[in-house]
Amino acid sequence: MAADILTTAIQTIRSEAQSVAALTAFINDNFEKTVTAIHQSKGRIIISGIGKSAIIAQKIVATFNSTGTPALFMHAADAIHGDLGMIQREDMVMILSNSGNSPEVKALVPLIKGFGNRLIGMVGNTQSYLAAHADFVINASVVAEACPNNLAPTNSTTAQMVMGDVLAVCLMELKEFTEQDFARYHPGGNIGKRLYLRVEDMYKINPKPCVQLITPVKEVITEISRNRLGCTAVLDEANSLIGIITDGDVRRMLEQHDNISLLQAKDIYSKHPKIIAPQALAIEALNVMKKHDITQLIVVDNNVYAGVLHLHDLLREGII
């Protein structure tokens, strides 16, 4: 029984993967014209479907909206009961339907055409009613479903979702959609924080440990312990940053010296500390920490020591 389950699982994955790979044959001039038409449209794109296709349509709407292409979902069954009112003059409409011949689609298509809106049909049957009446056709055909009875929408809905992603990515390229644009639409959650949260949003709540070159080591240890950042900045007589002392530096000192009473900060500090600007993105700070295998960065603002950013700050904000 277990072997049968594993075999079925692998066959299903392979079947869906093959169906997706076969979609490359449908990326042609017609597809390019469809993408161009959406890009040049002055309105939104209304995406509709029935059954499982309606669920995929909602996913495509969400992807479009988050990547700079305004979109709305309209259920094909609800459309003829009032939801047609959401369609504006300059909007385009895209209907997803594997068969392209469902009663809801046949009822909806002439109404949309009567409004004068351009219609895109994403179909699994290019000889269908929807394909015949659409201004643009996106071919999302599959040879068969992964379902052993070739009935449950599996490969066909996967193909629709992939084609939706392909449309979204192509439109992103045409719009030159950047990380900054993405951040504007995703201000919440960890994705948003990775794209907009900056060092200056985190380090200012931390203490600002510092010592002078001539500070006795015992006071250095106290400064590090009191501020709980695992380090302290080392400043010269003009209060310019010249180095750092970390927990690691203290441990190495204790391993090498039995008597530390005469030692000063200048005897154990590390020159050229890793620094970061307040305006740098939090994700940039994380990458620097990873690259150098460290847990703190000295924040420097216009060549002036401003504070310390700790790995825990990034953890607290969900960057990691």
| Residue 121 β-bridge partners | 95, 137
75 is in an annotated binding site: yes
CA distances 165 to 9, 67, 84, 273, 282, Å, are 24, 10, 25, 44, 29
Place of tokens 């530390």: 260
3-state secondary structure (DSSP) of residue 176 = coil
CA-wise closest residue to 309 among 291, 289, 184: 289
CA-wise closest residue to 35 among 166, 130, 124: 166
Whether the Cβ atoms of residue 284 and residue 194 lie closer than 8 Å to each other: no
| Residue 227 β-bridge partners | none
Report the 10 Å Cβ neighbour count for 166.
18
* H/E run at residue 47: strand 45-49
Q: Which two tokens stand for residue 290?
A: 């990873």
Residues with Cβ < 8 Å from 3, sequence gap 6 or more? none
Q: Residue ranges for the binding site for Zn(2+)?
A: 75
Q: Residue ranges for the binding site?
A: 75
